[in-house]
């Protein structure tokens, strides 16, 4: 007998066995169904009503027990405490201070303060600047307050003062600053235009304009200015403020020194707006009241 014939006979045998097993199983299932049907047919009508009532009552009972257990678990649940820790601000740093001679017995000063905190600034920095000789003799003392913006370098210019003695030291001190997060204000867009250096009649002047590209009138803009020589050293300082600069307005400015500074080759003007001041941005309707 060939191998294929043997395989075919085995397959047929397995099929017959499966059919017999399935038939026997079906007959057993039918017997069980008939038995259950006979048992239920002998039950009285009262048992049927009881069964229906029991099934109907089981669902509300299940929901009630589920609600009760859930209430117990929820009442005992304590959510984890969420603690928000804000980073401590880094201290501001005095990075530069200089004294400049404007003319005979006339001087000015510069202080630069760096704030590396990205979101925190100082609304009010109270300071004292004292100009002294090398012998530590006090010449003049300036006290005041200013603001320091987040992630910025504050340029503080001390106006012209006169003295018979030459100031050689600038002692700058400030009180412990109180940092504050910058307020949520619309972005301000200021653009400097046509900044140029002139030398009229033995003096030096820097002129230019600042354009307000924001949709608001800005109450005040602080404009410090630094003069640099060809070696990128600061050789002169000045500052001014412009007030109530309307939207899309170009406001011109001009700095003048009482003497010529021939080594000055470049002027750098920066703009600062005190974001911490209430009402620093004014709508057109509010601007008409001023």
Q: What is the pLDDT of residues 8-45, one digit of tens each?
A: 555 555 555 555 555 555 556 566 666 656 665 665 66
| Mean pLDDT on 149-178 | 92
Confidence of residue 221 (pLDDT cuts 50, 70, 90): very high
Please give the average per-residue pLDDT across 82-110, as a whole number: 87
Q: Tell whether the torsion through CA atoms of 133, 156, 146 and 288 is positive or negative.
A: positive
**Pairwise CA distance, residues 103 & 119, whole Å:** 41
pLDDT at 258: 82
- Find the mean pLDDT for residues 104-108: 88
Q: Quick one: average pLDDT of 70-98?
A: 78
How large is the average pLDDT for residues 56-67? 71
Do the beta carbons of residue 160 and residue 107 sit within 8 Å? yes
- pLDDT greater than 90 at residue 144: yes
DSSP string, 163-209: -SSPP-EEEEEEPPP--EEPP--PPP-EEEEEEEEE--TT-EEEEEE
- Nearest CA among 206, 285, 198, 276 for reference residue 246: 285
E strands in the chain: 93-103, 106-115, 120-132, 138-148, 152-162, 169-174, 180-181, 190-198, 204-212, 217-228, 234-245, 250-257, 266-269, 281-282
Is the per-residue pLDDT at 72 higher than 80? Answer: no
Indicate the pTM of the whole model: 0.68
* pLDDT recorded at residue 13: 54
Torsion, Cα 243 246 251 255, to 10 degrees, reads 20
Q: CA–CA separation, 234 vs 99, rounded Å?
A: 10
Say what percent of the chain tops pLDDT 90.
51
Higher pLDDT, 161 or 144: 144
Percentage of the chain lying above the pLDDT 70 cut: 70
Q: In terms of Cα–Cα distance, which of 203, 199, 265, 206 is closest to 231? A: 265
Q: Which of 79-83, 196-200, 205-209 has the highest mean pLDDT?
A: 205-209
Q: How confident is the model at residue 2 (pLDDT cuts 50, 70, 90)?
A: very low
Burial class of residue 5 (count of CB atoms within 10 Å of its CB; 0-12, 13-18, 19+): exposed
Q: How far is CA 130 from the centre of its chain?
A: 36
How many other C-beta atoms can be found within 10 angstroms of the C-beta atom of residue 18? Answer: 10
> Looking at per-residue confidence, does 247 or 32 come out higher?
247
25-40: b or e for each residue (b if 16 or more CB lie within 10 Å)? eeeeeeeeeeeeeeee
Work out the mean pLDDT of the chain and round it to a whole number. 82
| Predicted pLDDT at 284 | 63
Residue 150 in this model has a pLDDT that exceeds 60: yes
**Which tops the pLDDT comparison, 243 or 10?**
243
**Average pLDDT value for residue range 159-174:** 91
């Amino acid at each position: 007998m060939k191998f294929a014939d043997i395989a075919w006979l085995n397959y047929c045998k397995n099929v017959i066995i499966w059919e017999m097993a399935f038939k026997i199983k079906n007959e057993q299932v039918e017997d069980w169904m008939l038995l259950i049907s006979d048992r239920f047919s002998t039950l009285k009508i009262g048992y049927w009503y009881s069964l229906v009532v029991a099934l109907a009552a089981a669902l509300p009972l299940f929901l009630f027990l589920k609600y009760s257990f859930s209430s117990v678990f929820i009442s005992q649940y304590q959510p984890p405490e969420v603690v928000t820790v804000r980073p401590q601000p880094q201290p501001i740093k005095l990075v530069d201070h200089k004294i400049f001679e404007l003319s005979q017995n006339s001087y000015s000063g510069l202080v630069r303060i760096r704030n590396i905190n990205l979101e925190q600034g100082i609304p009010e920095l109270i300071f004292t600047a004292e100009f002294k000789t090398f012998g530590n003799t006090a010449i003049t003392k300036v006290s005041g307050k200013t603001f320091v913006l987040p992630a910025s370098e504050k340029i503080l210019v001390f106006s012209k003062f006169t003295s018979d003695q030459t100031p050689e030291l600038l002692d700058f001190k400030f009180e412990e600053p109180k940092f504050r997060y910058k307020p949520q204000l619309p972005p301000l867009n200021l653009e400097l235009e046509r900044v140029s250096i002139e030398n009229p009649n033995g003096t030096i002047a820097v002129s230019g304009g600042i354009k307000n590209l924001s949709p608001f009138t800005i109450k005040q803009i602080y404009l410090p200015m630094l003069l640099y020589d060809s070696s990128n050293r600061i050789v002169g300082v000045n500052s001014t403020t412009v007030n109530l600069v309307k939207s899309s307005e170009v406001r011109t400015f001009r700095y003048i020194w009482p003497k010529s500074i021939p080594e000055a080759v470049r002027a750098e003007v920066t703009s600062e707006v005190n974001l911490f001041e209430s009402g620093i941005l004014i709508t057109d309707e509010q601007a008409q009241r001023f």
